[in-house]
Amino acid sequence: MIARWRLRRRYRRRDRPSRPARVTRLAVLLGLSVVMVLAMLGRLVQLQVVQGDDFADRAAALGTRTISTPAIRGRILAADGKALVANGSRAVLTLDPTTLADQDDDGAGLLRRVAPLVGRTPEQLLERTRPCGTAGAPRPPVCFSGAPYEPIPIADDVPVERALTLLERPEEFPGLGVVAEPTRTYPALGQLNAAQVLGYLGRTNADDIRRDPTLTARDGLGRAGLEKQYDAALRGTPGRTVVAVDARGLPQRTLQNVAPVPGQDVVTNLDPTVQTAAERALGSAMSSAQAQGNPATAGAMVVLDASDGSVVAMASAPTYDPNVWSGGINSLEYARLTDPASGAPLLNRGTTFATAPASTFKAVSVPAAIAMGNDPDASYDCGPSVRIGDRTFRNFESVAFGQIDMRRALEVSCDTVFYRWAYNAWQQSGGLRAPVTATDPFVDTARSFGLGRRTGIDLPDEAAGRIPDRQWKRQRWLDTRATSCQRARTGYPEETDQARASYLQRIAQENCRSGYVYRAGDAVNFSIGQGDVAVTPLQLAVAYSAVANGGTLWAPQVAAATQRPGGGARQDLAPRRMGTVDFPGDSLAVDREGMAAVTRTGTAAAAFRGFPLDSYGVSGKTGTAEIFGKEATSWFASYGPRTASGKQYVVVAMITESGTGATYAAPAARKVWDVLRTR
């Protein structure tokens, strides 16, 4: 037993390292420690000395915050200097997005508690928190377009007292805040509307800020009308304050303070008295048509100064209260403003709605007829109908006026005379055998009046209209052939009217087989502003301005000038000449004489009964556009004499699904002329 213990002791002594070995290990460990300390000191020197300036700059950058201050937006003024759009402010209730994320129910309970206190539903508040572009989010401007860390505006135009009450109860309503937000006001709203011309503001979104880094989520951006067209001038330049902050983000001192520069005022050519008259006359005419059982769903009235293209008035119906944007807008309201079923009130029918101009187009066709050699003083047969190919084309209500000259053809609006002129031009161009590039004097003349292209008005989203020719018809056939051929086979089973369904299927069959052919019917319909011809009320007003002033095509101009607020420096916007109409032969005189007779003894005589035409002669042309399956669209285009001040007004009225031009559009224009002759 003792021997075994001694043996173990012997082995244990052999396992222990010798003293010199232990010293060596300690030395190695000490050396490694020294190396590590020296490395750390070296790195510290590098950071403090070698890279010290670089890191100091980074620290300074991280220690500052830039606060943007919106500039006061410029006003929009009438021609007399009175404000049409001005500035106000409103209290906006905001919600910290982190508060929503911290709630067990994603803030649903909080929104339910807040909603009745601010006159909203929980659903309305919830949709304001949805980031634009995400699943389930409503369309802008209802959705939230700011950055994820920014307070979300959930209720606009909240009474200040109510907002402060909510803020005093943070334990019940966490994350709420109130900001004073600038808004637009409409001082002239009781007198006039002009909502589509003035436009509206919407909050900026991420895409806007990417395009223009000077914008912030708090800025309002012009989304339509003059607010959009002149947004850069109206918006001004935002201010900027740079502050130094500590590690906790608390401000320490101001490093830079740049004051905002207010936006410029936009002075328009709009005459408030004429604008009011145009809106009321348009509304009255639509009500009259509706009283007769006609839908009269939409309309427009345009008043230009033919001497320089100034837009004196522009009314569009249906319209809306522009204050809807100032008080905040929800998805239901926005849907109503854009829904075709409600008339899509946001649309400016004066500039964006192109349709057949009917017989008002004859003022354009007269120069074409003379250009192809027709004598304006010759006699032409105005029979009730004319046979062209296998079709019969009739006068309105099949009336007949016997042998008449070109001026009389305008006065009584004889379709059959124009049909023959257009048919002869079609034959001379090659008829059915003509190449797709063949020219046509009626098409060429229409384009010389600026039709078929945008007028260049200083409003966004203008429609170009349509002046169809052989090339256009062939391209449309290529674009729609597959659909036409399918409808030719299947018909229109969704149509409840069997006669209409059969008619549409026959058209589809013809378009499938030979829809590319420019037929005689296309040409004759073109001459009276029917078929595929489409113009806007503004385009027609520009064309009639050329008749009034002798041939100059001016770009319509709503704005007259920009100026610094408070009556500061003013920069006038010069008129823009867009082209010249070359009236062949006596065509200008024929147009003027024929249309002067329209208001005295022609189709608009009843509307102008009692008007002082001898001292203030108004010339014009009625139009009744026939649209398959609908009531006719009513047109009246007119111009007056040059006044002592050098102005020469043009008035165009259009009312859809109403009836004849003589019955509705002409009387509406007459009411505006009653005001204009005293201006």
Task: Tell me how far CA of residue 445 lies from CA of 33, 410, 520, 550, in angstroms.
Answer: 96, 17, 18, 15
**Cα–Cα distance between 564 and 262 in angstroms, integer?**
8
Beta-carbon count within 10 A of 476 CB: 16
Q: Quick one: pLDDT at residue 10?
A: 45
**Cα–Cα distance between 43 and 40 in angstroms, integer?**
5
DSSP element (H, E) containing 64 = strand 64-69
**Cα–Cα distance between 325 and 333 in angstroms, integer?**
10
Q: Quick one: pLDDT at residue 159?
A: 85
**Can you tell me whether residue 189 is helix, strand or coil?**
coil
**Cα–Cα distance between 268 and 248 in angstroms, integer?**
51
Delineate the domains of the chain, giving CATH numbers in brackets: 65-268 (3.90.1310.10), 269-334+348-468+518-679 (3.40.710.10), 470-517 (no CATH)
In b/e form, how buried is each residue of 548-558, taking b as 16+ CB within 10 angstroms? bbebbbbbbbb
Q: Quick one: pLDDT at residue 54?
A: 55
Tracing tokens 């509304």 back to the chain, one arrives at 283
User: pTM higher than 0.95, yes or no?
Assistant: no
Amino acid at 502: S
pLDDT digits (tens, 9 = 90+) for 150-187: 788 888 878 888 888 888 888 889 988 887 778 899 99
Task: Tell me how far CA of residue 336 lies from CA of 92, 224, 318, 341, in angstroms.
Answer: 24, 17, 12, 8
Paired strand residues for 69: 239
Beta-carbon count within 10 A of 336 CB: 17
**Cα–Cα distance between 604 and 541 in angstroms, integer?**
18
**Strand blocks (E) in 270-384:** 299-305, 310-317, 380-382
The C-alpha torsion from 668 through 455 and 192 to 667, rounded to 10°, is 0
Contact 409, 417 (CB under 8 A): yes
Q: Quick one: pLDDT at residue 9?
A: 45
Q: Quick one: pLDDT at residue 92?
A: 85
**Which residues of the chain are modeled with pLDDT < 70?**
1-62, 67, 146-149, 217, 248-251, 327-328
Please choose, from the candidates 586, 640, 598, the residue with its C-alpha nearest in 3D space to the C-alpha of residue 623: 598
- List Cβ neighbours of 357 (8 Å cut-off, separation of 6 or more): 529, 533, 535, 540, 623, 625, 635, 637
- Region for 398 from its dihedrals, namely left if φ exceeds 0, alpha if ψ lies in -120 to 50, beta otherwise: left
